[in-house]
Structure 1
């Protein structure tokens, strides 16, 4: 646990969830972020995935673009540099990425919501490694959601059914190196909030991730090596009536030598099931916190609404 009640929580998932749930929840209420140690994703798997991610992004541009799916909203495969932009941003983010999604058996009732994955033939072991990492991310996310449920006074398994076969997406992300004097402090990903339920991020040890506090100040998020940064997405913010905050965050280029090299990370955007209806939890409504979102909306419709706003559909 954290030593201070005024900082972003750093908690160990190896501890009984009952002992960390409120520290975790307090951090999500104050900052929308927490840092997770002992998350169960093997370091060997992380190292292997990082190496394969770099190998893919090192491919020639024409090879990568062969895996771009026009009209696919970036849901699977490759999205080129300069495509996505934050909501209301005037310029595109300085990044390229690859998406791996859930694979459902033919005939599954939710299969219509999820495109097939594509896999680069040029990188040996890519499919096997990232399928394994996807499953490991999902297991870690399920445990975080149990802690959140306990903090909210719900049954610890409350969220299990809401995310079963959800449209979760793993992103392999590369911010290319920048050049010139303006590189230091440049904005690589503009201020934004995440769309989904919770996000789990590997690779935030490299300086640059910042969140916007309730006081309007940018605060650096600096996890220990190998830890996960976890943040609340807009869907869970809406479900909890803004009790758990989907906090605006950005990625800025650090100062010094790190400003001139590429940055890599791997976020996992954990989603509700497409047919799950987001309707404010009654326990999160009271006289001091009236209901902000009285109209229910399916997670699929919410996702499409937001993808349009960030230029992906």
Structure 2
């Protein structure tokens, strides 16, 4: 049975070459076989994660009229509040049973948004968290580069404009039955290179294995979920996989509980050309034509809303 591996990331940031190489190999296997892993012993403290989850809850508890003042407007900025059922990650299903708030680096200093006291982008914990996630993402990207026999800074350099999106997510408790085929987050793959995901204790995340079986990516104490996205799959010619995942409505006590999570979506610089890496061609030709990272992200966002 395929399992999502737990990797001690502290061993990669240590000075021991053998430990580092062990982690590099573990990350290669995780990205190649299932596209998901749990990392423990990272630079992000549980205290900071709890603070961000609390700030997220405080924001989503605000009246809808207040949240709508910060509404998401278009795929070009991809910032702001996304209302309940507004998004359909699986276009064949009804709207997802969730609400979200997207924050990009530019919005952390954007006076139009941060002047509004209700905006999470104004909160210092959110700013600290964004910076900590950026640091962790760069370290993971360094490990991935080594796993693919590339210069260690290859991916980090192509992400140095920090075009990342921090997404606060709230899946409300359900007081009435959902519509047919309606779930908390429809089946989808992520659009960028890698994603860092922070979950509360309420489960529901599921990952589809290569054999087509859905397995739980259950909340695991003191770990962060990391998965590879579409652009990493394209870069690596499917050596690494962008795995479909979803958030389901569980038929237990969690039906009456809100679920909170925070996703940090890592995107390459908009002008980075995503072209098959030479080390990933092997015996097969490139599967995809080259595409600019910014163009790909825009096309996926336009299809989602």
The TM-score with structure 1 as length reference comes to 0.88
2:299 alignment partner in structure 1? 305
Deviation at 1:255, TM superposition (A): 2.9
Match of 1:132 in 2: 128
> Which ranges of structure 2 fall in alignment gaps of 5 or more residues?
13-19
Contact (CA 8 Å) 1:193, 1:234: kept in 2 or not?
A: yes
CA distance in 2, matches of 1:104, 1:118: 7
User: Structure 1: which 5+ runs fail to align?
Assistant: 107-114
Q: Which residue of 1 aligns with 2:7?
A: 11
In structure 1, the residue matched to 2:290 is 296
| Alpha-carbon distance between aligned partners in 2 of 1:101 and 1:88, rounded to the nearest angstrom | 25
Query: What SS is found at the alignment partner of 1:222?
Result: coil
- Larger relative helix fraction: 2
Q: Which residue of 2 aligns with 1:217?
A: 213
* Deviation by residue 1:288-313 (Cα, 9 ceiling, x = unmatched): x33201x21110111111111111xx
Residue 89 (structure 1) aligned to one of 81, 87, 92: 92
Check the 8 A contact 2:75/2:302 in 1, yes or no.
no
Q: CA RMSD in A?
A: 2.4
SS of equivalent to 1:103: helix
Please give the alpha-carbon distance, in whole angstroms, between the structure 2 residues aligned to 1:276 and 1:65. Answer: 34
Q: CA deviation at 1:138?
A: 0.7
Number of residues paired by the alignment? 296
Partner of 1:38: 41
SS at match of 2:123: helix
Q: 1:70 to 1:104 in 2, by over 3 A?
A: closer
Cα displacement (A) at 1:204: 5.6
Separation in 1, partners of 2:85, 2:108: 34
Pick from 117, 121, 124 the counterpart of residue 121 of structure 1.
Answer: 117
What SS is found at the alignment partner of 2:239? coil
CA distance in 1, matches of 2:178, 2:63: 27
Partner residue of 1:248 out of 229, 238, 244: 244
Partner deviation per Cα, 1:21-64 (whole Å, 9 max, x = no partner): 11111011111101100111122211111111100000011011
Give the 4+ runs in structure 1 shifted more than 4 A. Answer: 123-126, 180-183
Paired residue secondary structure (2:96): coil
